[in-house]
Amino acid sequence: MRKPGTLSGEEESANEKLAAGARNAVVTCLNVRQGEKAVLIFDRESQTIAHHFQQQLERAGAQWNAFLLEAEALRPLTHMPESILTALATADVSIFAARALPGELTARMEMMQVVNHHGIRHAHMVNISEKIMRQGMQADFQEIDALSTALWKRLQGVKTIRVTTPAGTDLRVQLSPQLRWVKTSGIISPQKWGNLPGGEVFTSPAKVDGRLVVDGVVGDYLCEKYGILSHTPLILDIKNSRIQHIQSVHEDLAQEFATYVTTDENSNRAGEFAFGTNLAVTELIGEILQDEKRPGIHVAFGHPYGEHTGQSWTSRTHIDCVIQEASVWLDEVKIMTAGKFHREELDWVSGSFAEVNGK
């Protein structure tokens, strides 16, 4: 029998992994240095995780300021509190670790405008959970960066991409040399903030046509509500980058998704085409922050991150759609089969990469 107030072996191990995930974020991904100013934004649900971030910021020697969202404003937020925006304006580093509530995307976009304007090294962790901290945040982000860099190089100059899945996805994506590929591997710089856990290479497509069968997860607050869609996929027919038809055996999902993608004139427009590259993520867990980083493909509708991709249009919304077991061709050259990269086509080999991909 253990003494009252002591942790079991399992609890202690879980706590150590939370600490390791926070250390990975602060030390490896954000490279926080002595004397830097840091802003930590969190909510009640992420208080335990925020505590570990605070400890790591202390150990790194940062001058940190923490904001509990519920103490700053009523939720759901209609705007990001001015106190947070003011603190961010003088920060070197920031972490946002809170759940997404319906209607809060505008507030987060206000925050990201400040991040982009001031070149803050920002870790964006919407809907972070202890499970993600113990899984995707345990990754070797230097290795993920190497894979992501190799993929980014391979994508330069590609004109067309085809994607198919066993569930019925069949997409043709046209690319433009004027629209940039962006690498967000988890190694965060002043030039590009990143979601954590990292592991993604994305662009804004010039044109998308075909059928997208979303049998993984959908993003924003719909992910928590509907979970993994293996048995209730969302089927999207797309023409000239616009969603033309939506169907699902789960009628509530289809209706709520349809409402989301009619928020503004570009909410139903394919704004992002992305590869997941986080080799530590081997299965879906029903949490978009991690699931979109699993090696494979996701497409997002709405905001195209034009400040990074070079796309000219905008939207107030952005919703990711993750598919499973994708096979991918770049200008007719196959680089992925059933969600596994062909390492010989990427000019990069590592032990973990080969093991994860079954090569």
Give how far Cα 7 sits from Cα of 13, 68, 129, 138, 352, Å.
9, 27, 20, 21, 32
* Calpha distance 77→89 (Å, rounded): 20
Compute the 3-state secondary structure of the chain and give helix, strand, coil in percent, each to the nearest 5: 35, 25, 40
First to last CA, the chain: 46
What digits encode the pLDDT tens for the residues 95-124?
999 998 989 989 999 999 999 999 999 999
CB 159, CB 225: distance < 8 Å: no
The token pair at 354 is 């080969």
* Calpha distance 229→57 (Å, rounded): 37
Q: How confident is the model at residue 344 (pLDDT cuts 50, 70, 90)?
A: confident
* Calpha distance 227→288 (Å, rounded): 9
What digits encode the pLDDT tens for the residues 261-312?
999 999 999 999 999 999 999 999 999 999 999 999 999 999 999 999 999 9
What digits encode the pLDDT tens for the residues 203-226?
999 999 999 999 999 999 999 999
Q: What is the pLDDT of residue 352?
A: 44
Q: What is the pLDDT of residue 7?
A: 47
The token pair at 234 is 């969302």
Share of the chain above pLDDT 70, in %: 93
Average pLDDT for 9-14: 64
Q: What is the pLDDT of residue 14?
A: 77
Residue with tokens 């139903």: 268
* Calpha distance 284→265 (Å, rounded): 31
* Calpha distance 263→254 (Å, rounded): 15
pLDDT for 235 beyond 70: yes
pTM of the model: 0.83
Which domains does the chain carry? 9-134 (3.40.1830.10), 139-356 (no CATH)
Average pLDDT for 68-85: 97
The token pair at 108 is 């987060």
| Angle of the 47-60 helix axis to the 9-23 helix axis, nearest 10 | 60
* Calpha distance 299→323 (Å, rounded): 8
What digits encode the pLDDT tens for the residues 189-198?
998 899 999 9
pLDDT for 178 beyond 80: yes
Q: How confident is the model at residue 13 (pLDDT cuts 50, 70, 90)?
A: confident
318: Cβ–Cβ under 8 A, 6 or more apart, which residues? 105, 219, 220, 271, 272, 300, 301, 302, 303
CB-side neighbour CA atoms (13 Å) of 168: 11
